[in-house]
Amino acid sequence: MPQVSLTVNGKHETVEVEGRTLLVELLREKLGLTGTHVGCDTSQCGACVVHVDGSSVKSCTMLAVQAEGAAITTIEGLAAADGTLHPMQEMFREHHALQCGFCTPGMVMSAIDLVQSHPQGLTEQEIRHGLEGNLCRCTGYHNIVKAIAAAWPLMHGRAQAVAAE
């Protein structure tokens, strides 16, 4: 079986996998990082989004062997070592942008990539469009959009977040 060497949440890993193993399976089953969820098995829901070399990727659409040499960040790798949440995680908490929590890891990972790729700012319409690949069955997205908008200035060092209403 082939081996895959990659860096996951800052830790170098070498894992033996079958050629058909998906990245999401490697993360969950081989490395025990179960924050990355499998929701639909068709790449429609976004529950499996992780960052591969800084960009959001649906890990159910990528073979583990394709991640050779890559730097992977999962939801478990966002918080600081002391437990301080990433600004996006904090704003999701602050703005009540989660319900059951199943979609939340993928939503947070997609939102971080969205904010990082828009250094000049984001409109509500751009946020909503940017989330089209992520499904949440519990919310109407209103608080998710508010959380992302509140995280943008924190992530770009431009202001402090506005408290939830």
pLDDT for position 43? 84
Cα distances (angstroms) measured from residue 3 to each of 31, 77, 129:
14, 22, 37
pLDDT for position 125? 96
**Options 3.40.50.300, 3.40.50.2020, 3.40.630.30, 3.10.20.30; CATH of 3-76:** 3.10.20.30
Q: Give average pLDDT by consecutive 10-residue segment, the chain, 165 residues.
A: 96 97 97 94 90 96 97 97 96 92 94 96 95 86 95 86 51
Are 5 and 12 in contact by the 8 Å Cβ rule? The answer is: yes
**3-76 and 87-155 share one CATH topology?**
no
Could you state, in order of their start, the residue ranges of all structural domains in the chain?
Answer: 3-76, 87-155
pLDDT for position 33? 98
User: Closest Cα partner for 135 from 45, 49, 58, 60?
Assistant: 45
d(CA 38, CA 36): 7
Give the three-state DSSP class for 7.
strand
CATH architecture for residues 87-155: Orthogonal Bundle (1.10)
pLDDT for position 161? 53
User: Closest Cα partner for 78 from 37, 106, 119?
Assistant: 106
